[in-house]
Amino acid sequence: MAGLLGSLTLISVTILFLIVGYITIQGIGGINLAFFTDIPKPMGQDGGGIAQAILGTLEMLAVGALIAVPLGVGTGIYMAEYGGGKLNSMIRFSLEILASLPSIVIGVFVWALVVRSLGSFSGLAGAFALSIVMVPIIGGSVDEILRLVPNSLREAGLALGVPRWRVILQVVIPTVLPGIFTGVVLGVARAAGETAPLLLTALGNEFINTDLLKPMGAMPLQIYNYALSPYPEWHQKAWAATLVLVLVIALFSAGVRITTRKFRYVR
Amino acid sequence: MSANLMTALQQGSALEARDLDVYYGKAHAVSGVSIRFKPNTITAIIGPSGCGKSTVLRCLNRMHEVVKDAYVTGEVLLNNENIYMPQIDPVRIRRRIGMVFQKPNPFPMMSVYENVIAGFKLNRGTPKHVNFDEVVERSLRSAALWDEVKDKLNVSGAALSGGQQQRLCIARAIAVEPEVLLMDEPCSALDPISTRKIEDLMQELVKHYTIVLVTHNMQQAMRASEMTAFMLADERRIGQLVEYAPTQQLFKNPSDPRTEDYVSGRIG
C-alpha cells in the first residue's frame, strides 16, 4: 500500500519537475538582455522581446492591487474581527465561489461591464479583472492570519479602556503585519499568471503603452500570441517568456516562504 | 492631571454588584449575585471551576460584553454610580477598573517601556504634560519590576520570564491609575516564587487600589485576602454566591454547609 501511494506521490511531484525542467530547456536559449528591453519585432526581423508585456503586467498588477488590497484586507478584517457565525460562513462561501469561478468568466464579465461601456479594450479593464482574481485570495488569507492572534491580546487592549477599532488597528494588525503582507503577495502572484481574464479586457499590445485607457500587453498574453504563431522563432520566444513568468512567480512564492518562516506568531 | 485621578492615586473606590444575573445568549451563567467590595481591600472570589467566578469578575468592568450575545441584568456600582447605565461607555469604565488576566498577555510587538504606557499610547487625548519616563518608572516600581528591567526597557515584553510578564501586565494596568484592579487567577500560570512576588505586590497595591482577586487556590485566598466570597454552581449549572465573609471566618467557621464542604476539601 505504502509503495503504491508512494509511487503516485512520486508521479505528482515529478510533474512539477518535468514542467519546470522542460520549460527551462526550451526557454533558456531565448533569454538575453534584449529579450527584456525590446518589444516584439515583425516576422522576418531578428530579435524582439517582451518589454511591453512585462511593463503592462506590472502596471495592471499594481492598479489591480490598488483596488483589491483595500477590498480584500477590509473583508478579511471584517470576517475575523466583527463578523460572527452564520454571516461569516456566508461571506467565506461567497469568497470561495468567487475564487473558484473560471477566470474566463471574470474576463467576460469585465468585458461587458468595462470594455463595452468605455468602448475599447484597455489596461484598466485588465486591472479590474485581475483585482477580481486577487480579492478572494487576499480576503481569505487575511481572515486566517488574524485568527492566529490570541484573544488574550485583544482583551489586554480592551481592558486598558481602548476602543475596539483602535485595538484592531494598533494591536491586532501590527502583530500579524508580515502575515497580511504574505496574503497580499499570494493574491498578486496568482493574478500575475492569469491569461483568460486579460484576453477579453487588456487584449494585448505589441508596443509599449502605459496609458490605462488603451489596450495593454501582458506576459501571459504575449506567451499566448507567440505560441499561436506558425513561426519556430516565435515559439522559442514563447518558451522564453514562459520561463520568465515561471521564475517571477516562483520568486514571489519563495519570498512569501521566507517572510512567513521568519514570522511565527503562535502562542 | 485631574483632582479625581490624584485621589485615585491614594485610594481605591468602592465597588458593588446588586442582583447581578449574567447570560451568554440563552445560557444563564450566574444568578443573583449581590456583593460589596470594600475600598482598599483585597477580596478573593473562590469556588470550583465553572462556578462563574471569572464571569462575575468580567462583569465588574464590562469585559464580559466582549463575548458575543453576553449580557447582564442588575447593577454594578462604582462609587455608587451604576456602570451599566445606558449612557455610560464601557470603554471609559475599563479605564477606571483595570484588569490582569490569567495568562500574562504583554503586547509582543511592543518593548517593555511601550507596554507600560500602552494605555496612553493606544488612546488619543493623552494629556500633553504626562511624562512617560516618570510613568514607566513609577509603574514598574509599583509592580516590583523596576530593578529587574530598568536596563532592558527596550526589549520586547514577550522576552521577559512568565512572572516578569505578569508583573509587566500589572504595571501596564496601574499606569493609567485605575480605581479598582480586577485580577483573574493572576498566578495560575506562574511558579511558586513568582506567585509569592505577586502576592507580596498585592499587599502594596491594596494601599492605593481596591483589588478583587479570583483564584482557585484556597491557600492563596487565605494568604492574600481580607474578605472572601465563595461561589458555587447549582444543579442547573447556574453560578451563585454562597457566602461572603472575612477570610478568616469563611475558612475557619463557615456558616453555610456547602462552604464548609468546599474549604475542607470534600467537594471541588
pLDDT in tens, A250-265: 888 888 878 776 655 4
Cβ contact A160–B119 (<8 Å) = yes
The pLDDT of residue B126: 64
CA separation (Å) from A198 to A127, A220, B24, B73? Answer: 9, 9, 51, 59
Cβ contact A160–B92 (<8 Å) = no
CA distance B9 to chain A (A): 17
Mutate to test the interface with A, among B66, B180, B183 (most CBs of A within 10 A): B66
The pLDDT of residue B184: 96
pLDDT tens-digit readout, A59-86 = 999 999 999 999 999 999 999 999 877 8
Per-residue pLDDT of chain B (268 residues; tens, 9 = 90+): 444 444 445 578 899 999 999 999 999 999 999 999 999 999 999 999 999 999 999 999 999 998 888 999 999 999 999 999 999 999 999 999 999 999 999 999 899 999 999 999 898 766 677 899 999 999 999 999 999 999 999 999 999 999 999 999 999 999 999 999 999 999 998 899 999 999 999 999 999 999 999 999 999 999 999 999 999 999 999 999 999 999 999 999 999 999 999 999 877 6
Chain B residues inside the 8 Å CB shell of A162: 91, 119, 122-123
The answer to whether residue A194 scores a pLDDT higher than 80 is yes
Cβ contact A160–B173 (<8 Å) = yes
Cβ contact A161–B172 (<8 Å) = no
Cβ contact A162–B99 (<8 Å) = no
The pLDDT of residue B127: 67
Cβ contact A152–B103 (<8 Å) = yes
Contacts across the A-B interface (CB distance below 8 Å) = 70
SS (H, E, C) chain B: CCHHHHHHHHCCCCEEEEEEEEEECCEEEEEEEEEEECCCCEEEEECCCCCCHHHHHHHCCCHHHHCCCEEEEEEEEECCEECCCCCCCHHHHHHHEEEECCCCCCCCCCEHHHHHCHHHHCCCCCCCCCCHHHHHHHHHHHCCCHHHHCCCCCCEHHHCCHHHHHHHHHHHHHHCCCCEEEEECCCCCCCHHHHHHHHHHHHHHCCCCEEEEECCCHHHHHHHCCEEEEEEECCCCCEEEEEEEEHHHHHHCCCCHHHHHHHCCCCC
Single pTM value for the model: 0.86
Cβ contact B101–A159 (<8 Å) = yes
- Which residue shows C-alpha cell 505578569? B166
The pLDDT of residue B246: 97
Give the rounded distance of the alpha carbon of A178 from its chain centre: 18
Choose among B197, B166, B196, B162: nearest CA to B183.
Answer: B166
CA distance A264 to chain B (A): 12
How much is the mean pLDDT over chain A?
92
Cβ contact A162–B122 (<8 Å) = yes
The answer to whether residue A164 scores a pLDDT higher than 60 is yes
Cα–Cα distance between B199 and A75 in angstroms, integer? Answer: 45
Chain B residues inside the 8 Å CB shell of A150: 105
A153 close to B (CB below 8 A): yes
The pLDDT of residue A263: 56
A105-124 mean pLDDT: 96
Chain B residues inside the 8 Å CB shell of A171: 107, 109, 122
What percent of chain A has a predicted confidence (pLDDT) above 90?
82
The pLDDT of residue A86: 87
pLDDT tens-digit readout, B9-30 = 557 889 999 999 999 999 999 9
Question: Pick from A152, A170, A265: which is nearest to B122 by CB?
Answer: A170
Contact A54, A36 (CB under 8 A): yes
Mutate to test the interface with B, among A86, A88, A155, A160 (most CBs of B within 10 A): A160
The pLDDT of residue A146: 94
Cβ contact A160–B98 (<8 Å) = yes
Interface confidence, given as ipTM, is 0.90
Q: Which three cell numbers stand for residue A100?
A: 473558484
Chain A residues inside the 8 Å CB shell of B123: 160-162, 166
pLDDT tens-digit readout, A37-59 = 999 998 888 888 999 999 999 99
The pLDDT of residue A47: 84
